[in-house]
Amino acid sequence: MPNLNKLRTAISGGHGGDPADGVPLSSLTRLRVTLTVFFALDGFLFAGWVVRIPAIKQQTGASASDLGLALLGVSAGAVVTMMFTGRMCRRFGSHPVTVVSSALLALSIALPAQTHSAPALGLVLLVFGAAYGSLNVSMNSAAVDLVAAMRRPVMSSFHAAFSLGGMVGAGLGGLVAGGLSPSAHLLALTGVGLVVTALAGPSLLRHTVPTAPGPDPAPGAAPARAKDGAEGKAPRRLDRRTRRLVVLFGVIALCTAYGEGALADWGALHLAQDLDAGAGLAAAGYSLFALAMTVGRLSGTALLERLGQTRTLVAGGAVAALGMLLGALAPTTWLALLGFAVTGLGLANIFPVAVARAGALAGPSGVAAASTLGYGGMLLGPPAIGFLADWFSLPVALTTVALLAAAAALIAYSARNVSAPEPTSAARTGVPAEGAREVATEIRADVPADATARTAHQEG
């Protein structure tokens, strides 16, 4: 089965590719560590806010429906900001935008605890969502550039850091919830966020990722301005094929993020309502799912190097579909928990791979488009499950997670032979011909590691 975008292995035949020419591996490693810190901080701050939602609801006196509308502020702010952030990354570079967005997220997380009505909560959550969406696009754009420079599929490790940060944030939030007011807790998170940003930000701003070497510019062509490495590419209009590919990867992200949102909001209720699980065991359902996703993402680099991206996407979607069928239709709590864990393992690497491929094709704009579609899936999941549960039943509604995971696998398999624009077409759009040839080759690659190395020899 051809592998979609199987990243090149090293010319020596090893699992990973050689770093970009002229860039010390130690520099890329330090940049990777710094970016990992920002991913973990993002998950930590967001989880810290989520665990205080019940207390904020009580503080504002909001009804369930009022709170639901207020929480849409996070979604609206994030989605609106995501596409705008792609343009900001092209203009100023993804590294500065990441640092600024991280600081804004840290500052805005303190705002919800200062509100005393649902409308005011909705307004401040627009600001919080805007900072959250901006940080996600900018740091994913920076990660895509680093993956290209390292020539190793390490994207999943960044998302594993996000998951780990979320688990730590939720755990600490649960521990302090009884002793700290929401205002004190969220102000403390602001302090943590600003301190981490101040410590890690200078390192991110110092390190740049170089662009892949390409042909000399055409006579009379204006040189592209260099921002922070990969962002130095001049903005360009994407051809129709590339736009379609970006949307395709965005749809894959949507299909899997739908499942994440659905399990976050409905998994515990399914265990408690349909399987008579106790409160503690029901709450453990999503924790087990999140833990499985973290484990899957930590092993994602090795998995991608061994299988390539198409096999990873197809296998992940199929495993998630089978796991969710078990989780939704199992007659006992323990079988359902096993299904949740299998679902987490299956979904773990699909979203990171989809965002990484969109970024490799279209830069920050591709990351923004795929992230927006994916985030839309996370928003679509909970209300869709709710309506279907009213019409049919909650177990039947949860099977839609399996259907969309299977759809993601089918889309990935159907796109196994797609190719990016040929060098001549790329030249017309301003893309370096060598870079376009590399993207096209990666998309069509379906060979073992040693054969990929031989291909790299021939192309070099």
Mind listing the pLDDT tens digit of every residue in the chain (460 residues)?
334 443 333 323 334 455 555 556 777 888 999 999 999 999 899 888 877 877 888 899 887 677 777 877 887 888 888 878 888 988 899 999 999 999 999 999 999 999 999 899 999 999 999 999 899 889 988 988 888 888 887 888 888 888 888 888 877 887 887 788 999 999 999 999 999 999 999 999 987 765 444 334 343 434 444 444 444 444 456 678 888 888 999 999 999 889 887 887 778 778 888 998 886 677 677 778 888 888 998 888 888 888 888 899 999 999 999 999 999 999 999 999 999 999 999 999 998 888 888 887 887 778 888 888 887 777 777 778 878 888 888 899 999 999 999 999 999 998 776 544 444 343 333 333 333 433 443 433 343 333 333 333 333 3
- Do residues 86 and 235 make contact, with C-beta atoms less than 8 angstroms apart? no
The SS3 assignment for 4 reads coil
What is the pLDDT, as a whole number, of residue 19? 55
- pTM, two decimal places: 0.69
Inter-CA distances, 69 with 7, 166, 235, 380, Å: 43, 24, 37, 14
To the nearest 10°, report the CA torsion of 296, 297, 301, 304. Answer: 60
Q: Which tokens go with 435?
A: 């870079």
Per-residue tokens: 200: 């890690």
Quick one: pLDDT at residue 459?
Answer: 35
3-state secondary structure of 21: coil
Quick one: which of 370, 307, 318, 373 has its CA closest to 345? 318
Residue with tokens 């395709």: 248
Cβ atoms of 256 and 375 within 8 Å: the answer is no
CA distances from 357 to 159, 344, 439 (A): 15, 21, 10
Cα–Cα separations (whole angstroms), residue 279 to 57, 84, 270, 275, 276 = 20, 42, 11, 11, 9
Contact indicator for 95, 31 with CB cutoff of 8 Å: no
Spell out the SS3 assignment of 278-302. Answer: CHHHHHHHHHHHHHHHHHHHHCHHH
DSSP 209: B
Cα–Cα distance between 287 and 301 in angstroms, integer? 23
The answer to whether residues 448 and 3 touch, using CB atoms and an 8 Å cutoff, is no
Residues 145/226, Cβ–Cβ less than 8 Å: no
Which pLDDT value is given to residue 318? 96
Determine the pLDDT at residue 395. Answer: 93
Query: Helix (H, G, I), strand (E, B), or coil: what is residue 177?
Result: coil
Cross-strand pairs, 209: 229
Looking at residue 386, its pLDDT comes to: 78
pLDDT of residue 64: 67
Residue-level pLDDT at 374? 83
Place of tokens 């990969």: 230
CB 16 within 8 A of CB 10: yes
Residue 251 CA to residue 245 CA, distance in Å, equals 10
pLDDT for the residue numbered 12: 31
Token readout for 411 is 């889309």
What is the spatial distance between Cα 265 and Cα 169, in angstroms, rounded to a whole number? 18
Are the C-beta atoms of 231 and 170 separated by less than 8 Å?
A: no
Counting other chains too, the contacts that 117-123 makes at CB distance below 8 Å and 24 or more residues apart are 117/60, 117/61, 117/62, 118/60, 118/61, 118/62, 118/63, 118/66, 118/67, 118/69, 118/70, 119/70, 120/60, 121/56, 121/60, 121/62, 121/67, 121/70, 121/73, 122/69, 122/70, 122/72, 122/73, 123/73
- DSSP letter for each residue of 299-351: THHHHHHHH-HHHHHHHHHHHHHHHHHHHHH-SSHHHHHHHHHHHHHHHTTHH
Q: Which helix (H) or strand (E) holds 260?
A: helix 240-275
Place of tokens 């962002």: 231
Task: Give dist(CA 121, CA 440) in Å, integer.
Answer: 47
